[in-house]
Structure 1
Amino acid sequence: MVTPSLVKQYVYCPTLPWLEVRVGRLEPPTPSMESAILTADEKEEIAREAGIPPPYRVEIPLEYPRLRLRGVIDLVAGPHGRRGYWIMEAKKHPRRPRASKHFQAQLLAYALLATKTLGPVYRATLYIGGTTRTLEINQRHLQTAEKLVKKTLKIVEEEEPPLTRQPPQKCMYCFYRKLCPNANPHL
């Protein structure tokens, strides 16, 4: 099974999900990771501020075996009549704008997971450190998410890690850089 978090890692660097699945999640929580945990009340407050209509359910575990996808969605609102559900993924700390592509991929994977298990998702909001971005979910978004899930699954099932080239600044702070065959070609 893959998670939307592994899809996020795949978009950031295709080697990360392979390392995480094959080597194991070795990265201990840093103080900033621990301080980034949002409570259920904080998630609901963010949803209200973003204009997401209740009812809310927080930290909803879902699994869709057919795609081998599972995850825990930060917040699911609805259903709202025929439109369906509005979901939210929340990150407490701000990020650089260029860093949001992989978080958007994670959000789309959650939208796909919720659509396949709960019903149609019509909107998805990504909250990152005070900034929100809301997408009107369409079929193209769901197709993109499904392709990313399948690519991530393929990567983690391979015996050998994917060969990729990343900008050095991306690898500089990566916890897995000492284990990465792309950073250390002699491994």
Structure 2
Amino acid sequence: MAEAAVTGTAVKDYSYCPALPWLKVRLGLREPETWGMRAGRSLRASDVAYKLGLERPWLEEVPLRDRGLGAAGVVDLVSGSGRLRVLEVKAFRAAGERLRPFANQLKFYALLANRLLGRVREAYLYHGGDLLALEVDGHVLREAEELVARVRDVLESEEPPRAYRSERCSSCWFRRVCPAWD
């Protein structure tokens, strides 16, 4: 199998369940579009950036590919010049453990933008009207690099990662092919 780039979606999926990126990339499975996916496409990052008072210029839907890192993704919005800000926009509010996958995806995008566009000062996750603000420092960037390495290990493995049943599994579309359900 050709080496697949680690994407923001793969990082988010891995943070939710390590089996998801393997099932999607190695087996080519795709879940049907959900209402939440459609709702997310209706949001405009520039509207949120305006509401938050983020510095211009704004670059929207910024495709980034770091061949050295083996990672690629599309950042919803990059704000400013010099020291940058990254914005990721989600339609629905998430709290507690449900917020972690989206926060990890945000760290991933901050890492890509920091490596390819310039120093990222802050990263914002706007989710259903709430805002998570992260100061982007060496610790956040190292966490993101470690996530990329773990996701890459999963994607390059011939065998699916160990997955454990949890309450999340009951609503997972991939449950019928998941290694945790053997």
Q: Using structure 2 for the length normalisation, give the TM-score.
A: 0.93
1:47 maps to: 49
Deviations 1:27-55 (CA, angstroms, capped at 9, x unpaired): 1112332122135xx21111122232111
Distance 1:133 1:48 in 2: 16
Equivalent pair of 1:50/1:132 in contact (CA under 8 Å): no
2:138 maps to: 139
- Shift in Å, 1:100: 0.5
- Give the aligned residue type for 1:144: E
1:58 maps to: 60
Is the counterpart of residue 181 in structure 1 residue 174 in structure 2? no
- Shift in Å, 1:98: 2.7
Runs of at least 5 residues in structure 1 that lack an aligned partner in the other structure:
none
Distance 2:78 2:137 in 1: 17
Distance 1:118 1:136 in 2: 17
1:27 maps to: 31
Tell me which stretches of 4 or more aligned residues in structure 1 moved more than 3 Å.
Answer: none
Runs of at least 5 residues in structure 2 that lack an aligned partner in the other structure:
none
Equivalent pair of 1:76/1:85 in contact (CA under 8 Å): yes
- Shift in Å, 1:163: 1.1
Superposed, which structure 2 residues align to 1:4-153 within 5 Å? 4-39=8-43, 42-79=44-81, 81=82, 84-153=83-152
Distance 1:96 1:122 in 2: 24
How many residues get paired? 178
Aligned residue for 2:179, secondary structure, equals coil
2:155 maps to: 156
- Give the aligned residue type for 1:142: L
2:170 maps to: 172
Distance 1:22 1:59 in 2: 26
- Give the aligned residue type for 2:45: K
Q: Using structure 1 for the length normalisation, give the TM-score.
A: 0.91
- Give the aligned residue type for 1:89: E
Aligned residue for 1:48, secondary structure, equals helix
- Give the aligned residue type for 2:161: P
Considering only aligned residues, what root-mean-square deviation do their CA atoms show, in Å? 1.2
Equivalent pair of 2:163/2:179 in contact (CA under 8 Å): no
Q: Determine what percentage of the aligned residue pairs are the same residue.
A: 38
